[in-house]
Amino acid sequence: MPETPQPLVQPDQLIRHLGAPDLVVLDARWSLERGAERRAYLAGHIPGAEFVDLDQELAAPAGPRGRHPLPPVESFAAGMRRHGVSASSQVVVYDEVTGAAARAWWMLRAAGHRRVAVLDGGLQAYLEAGGRLTSELPAPRSGDFQTTGFESWVGADGLETCRDQGTLVVDARARERYLGQPNPLDPRPGHIPGAVSLPWTDLFDRGRLRPAAEVRRLLGESGAGDRPVVVYCGSGVTACAVLLALEVAGGGPGRLYPGSWSEWAADPSRPVQNPAAG
């Protein structure tokens, strides 16, 4: 498959290149309610796709660093090799537009692998374009993927430093969570002081990323135009969809706060801004 420098690939392009020797397709289906969708993968997936488990392979176990902290780099690299990823691989990741594919995209990019793209519109767009599914598991293959670590992220302490230096902090959660309305997901309601709200779902229309000009407008309205930004969400998953949109739109450099609100709000020493509290 030709190298895809853009972070998105269209369904018809993927369909044309299925079976190419340098193509690795990863099924990252996951939902907040059910977790990793391995059963759905086994029932039917894009031919040749390997299942990547967000909870087990794209994150370390939940704990003080949040619900989906970054995994040890060695285990991530080993997982990518098991899925056949090599230095020369063009990787395409898909999901059902829940943010999981964007998380896989971000992690591979942060680990130094540039030839990776997200399937625009996810599995539904692939089916609408005439793609077929199979329950046949791909033949095992191993890759030579190597990395020395993740870049383009900051921890909680680094986030405060970035904010003090003028970096814009973007909250990608639903706006009601940003505004501090109680919900079962957040240890404390509210948001990181000084953060602006840009729900990741605002950047998508029926599962597809909005046109670049519209994404630029939405980013600009939030203040995330040409400024350096750090994005967080509930647990470091859907924030990656904002970073994906930022790159598509040619915006300023973006970094991920992986611990996100699940780490920040669980630490009583971290300040919280809660508009709902008055």
Q: Is the pTM of this model over 0.85?
A: yes
Average pLDDT over residues 9-25: 97
Using DSSP bridges, classify how beta strands 23-27 and 254-256 pair: parallel, antiparallel or unpaired.
unpaired
Looking at the domain covering 8-128, what would its CATH class be? alpha beta
From 25, 85, 156, 233, active-site residue: 233
CATH architecture for the domain at 156-277: 3-Layer(aba) Sandwich (3.40)
pLDDT in tens, 19-45: 999 999 999 999 989 999 999 999 999
In the chain, domain spans: 8-128, 156-277
Residues 226, 7, 170, 235: what is their CA dihedral angle, to the nearest 10 degrees?
A: -160
pLDDT band at 160 (very low <50, low <70, confident <90, very high): confident
pLDDT tens string 225-239: 678 899 999 999 999
Residues paired with 93 in a beta bridge:
26, 118
Active site residue 162: no
DSSP state of 200: G
The Cα 273–Cα 57 span in angstroms is 33
> What does pLDDT average to over the chain?
94
pLDDT-based confidence at 185, cuts 50/70/90?
confident
Q: Which residues pair with 92 in a beta bridge?
A: 25, 117
Same fold flag, 8-128 and 156-277:
yes
- pLDDT, average across residues 136-165: 93
What's the pLDDT score for residue 278?
Answer: 63
167: confidence class by pLDDT, cuts 50, 70, 90: very high
